């Protein structure tokens, strides 16, 4: 039996909000300014829209956490409301999103290493560096989840340094002319550019489901999980908008598009090369730490899926994660890293985060639909409907290059369901939990 957490050890909503924000402010934001350079400084509008969508989805998961506190993660939320077929789709989609997203994090780390070693800006050298980082962090996970967790936690604090320094540099050297000239390099209107950028921007908000995970550790979950979720997302959104304005107010969009380390380039311009190098070093540490944590999350997601019968039992038995699990994950990530190669790291990063965000948004849409089915009060159903509307709209507006791989994925998993899963007995569900 697990010990009950005493109230004095639980989190107030303010501290919980910081945890939510910390889980979202990851290393992926370090390359987003370069990826969004074609959209230009008008991307700040997209940040605002994505932030509102993230607030809505955070409330969706807060409600699901209260309704189904014993559900086994996102796949459990989807299965409880929509059935086992959608639980299977959610489990595999989230696992795949973890693997593809991990490659994007490795690309971000390589980009900032390129500040020190310019050869890493070349496609072949960058690919080898991506592979080295993937297997380094996979090896850390094999050696022990505790070590990977500690490294990821330490990297969180270090990772905020580049953003804080970049914002300070932007404030001191901001040029309204540069910002205005970069408003829409392509000449598209906001009606065209903002929806198209949502899938890429939403990468920075992945982790809104943290609210549901925090429920057991929050002092008054019925009241404070929703507060913490909204406050955490808004805090992250303010950080993102400030950093985006800072970069576009100093570096022209055309120059930014070629950068593999936007924040380091910004601070080097304003404060000198030594401070730029400090920012790049902190970004590398944060990216590797984030990769370490998400490699572990991908492995544990696969283990949970195996426990639910969605993946072969070789991925895990109960709480045990066999070595084949991280090895297979590392092999899949390596294949993605090689096949996703682009002429620039920013281009590769943009493609990877686009696919990851579309997969994740579809998972969030399924969870929103599940809440709509499970909820018995109007307010929760209204939040669920808004979450479903935002997630599906963002997916529909995404670039075809992001949607096509996602469509192929769901076609394959649907075929796998009918070939191998249909008719298999479902795991028993606690009727009391399902009735709440």
Please write the tens of the pLDDT for every residue from 136-155: 989 888 876 566 556 656 66
Q: Are 24 and 204 in contact (CB under 8 A)?
A: yes
Determine how many CB atoms are found less than 10 A away from the CB of residue 191: 8
pLDDT of residue 215: 62
pLDDT of residue 390: 95
Tokens for 233, please give them: 């997302």
What is the rounded average pLDDT of the residues 267-271?
91
Span of 7-16, 28-37, 172-181 with lowest mean pLDDT: 7-16
Digit-coded pLDDT (tens) for 371-424: 999 998 888 999 999 999 999 999 988 888 888 888 899 999 999 898 877 656
Residue 72's SS3 state is coil
Spatial neighbors of 202 by CB under 8 A, at least 6 apart, are 50, 53, 54, 357, 360, 361, 394
Q: Are 47 and 244 in contact (CB under 8 A)?
A: yes
Q: CA-to-CA distance for 121 and 345, rounded, in angstroms?
A: 7
> If we measure between CA atoms, which residue out of 370, 11, 6, 433 comes closest to residue 214?
11
Q: CA-to-CA distance for 288 and 95, rounded, in angstroms?
A: 19
Rg (CA), the chain: 21
Question: Which residues partner with 320 through β-bridges?
Answer: 317
Q: CA-to-CA distance for 375 and 132, rounded, in angstroms?
A: 46
What is the rounded average pLDDT of the residues 202-223?
72
Q: CA-to-CA distance for 274 and 280, rounded, in angstroms?
A: 10
pLDDT of residue 13: 75
Q: CA-to-CA distance for 284 and 289, rounded, in angstroms?
A: 8
Digit-coded pLDDT (tens) for 74-90: 888 899 999 999 999 99
Does residue 9 surpass a pLDDT of 60? no
* CA 158 and chain centroid, separation: 19
For residues 408 and 219, the model is more confident at 408
Q: CA-to-CA distance for 416 and 428, rounded, in angstroms?
A: 22
Span of 19-33, 285-299, 418-432 with lowest mean pLDDT: 418-432
> If we measure between CA atoms, which residue out of 14, 53, 118 comes closest to residue 387?
53
Query: What is the percent of the chain with per-residue pLDDT over 70, rounded to a whole number?
Result: 86
Q: CA-to-CA distance for 327 and 211, rounded, in angstroms?
A: 30
pLDDT band of residue 69 (cuts 50, 70, 90) is: confident
User: Within a 13 Å sphere around the CA of 334, how many CA atoms are in the beta-carbon half?
Assistant: 13
Q: CA-to-CA distance for 398 and 296, rounded, in angstroms?
A: 29
Residue with tokens 């994007």: 104
Q: What is the DSSP string of 346-395?
A: HHHHHHHHHHHHHHHHHHHHHHHHHHHHH--SHHHHHHHHHHHHHHHHHH
């Amino acid at each position: 039996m697990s010990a009950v957490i005493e109230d004095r050890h639980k989190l107030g909503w303010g501290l919980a909000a910081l945890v939510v924000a910390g889980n979202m402010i990851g290393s992926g934001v370090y390359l987003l300014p370069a990826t969004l350079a074609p959209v230009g400084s008008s991307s700040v509008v997209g940040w605002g829209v994505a932030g509102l969508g993230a607030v809505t989805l955070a409330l969706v998961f807060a409600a699901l956490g209260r309704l189904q506190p014993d559900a086994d993660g996102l796949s459990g939320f989807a299965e409880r409301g929509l059935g086992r077929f959608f639980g299977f789709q959610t489990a595999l989609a989230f696992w795949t999103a973890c693997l593809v997203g991990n490659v994007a994090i490795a690309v971000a780390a390589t980009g900032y290493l390129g500040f020190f070693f310019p050869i890493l800006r070349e496609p072949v050298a960058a690919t080898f560096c991506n592979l080295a980082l993937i297997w380094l962090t996979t090896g850390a996970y094999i050696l022990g989840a505790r070590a990977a967790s500690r490294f990821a936690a330490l990297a969180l604090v270090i990772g905020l340094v580049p953003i804080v320094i970049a914002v300070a540099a932007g404030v001191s050297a901001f040029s309204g002319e540069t910002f205005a000239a970069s408003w829409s390099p392509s000449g598209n209107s906001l009606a065209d550019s903002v929806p198209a950028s949502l899938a890429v921007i939403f990468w920075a908000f992945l982790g809104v489901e943290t609210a549901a995970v925090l429920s057991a550790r929050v002092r008054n979950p019925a009241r404070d999980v929703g507060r913490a979720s909204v406050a955490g997302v808004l805090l992250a959104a303010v950080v993102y908008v400030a950093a985006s304005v800072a970069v576009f107010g100093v570096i022209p969009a055309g120059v930014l598009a070629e950068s593999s380390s936007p924040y380091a380039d910004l601070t080097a311009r304003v404060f000198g090369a030594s401070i730029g190098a400090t920012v790049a070093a902190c970004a590398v540490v944060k990216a590797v730490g984030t990769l370490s944590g998400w490699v572990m999350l991908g492995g544990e997601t696969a283990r949970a899926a195996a426990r639910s019968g969605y993946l072969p039992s070789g991925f895990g038995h109960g709480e045990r994660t066999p070595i084949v699990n991280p090895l297979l994950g590392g092999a899949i990530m390596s294949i993605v890293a090689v096949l996703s190669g682009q002429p620039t790291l920013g281009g590769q990063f943009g493609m990877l985060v686009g696919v990851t965000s579309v997969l994740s948004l579809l998972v969030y849409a399924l969870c929103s639909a599940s809440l709509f089915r499970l909820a018995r009060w109007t307010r929760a159903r209204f939040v669920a409907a808004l979450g479903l509307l935002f997630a599906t709209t963002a997916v529909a507006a995404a670039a075809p290059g992001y949607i096509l791989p996602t469509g192929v994925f769901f076609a394959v998993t649907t075929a796998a369901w009918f070939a191998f899963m249909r008719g298999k007995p479902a795991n028993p569900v606690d009727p009391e939990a399902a009735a709440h």
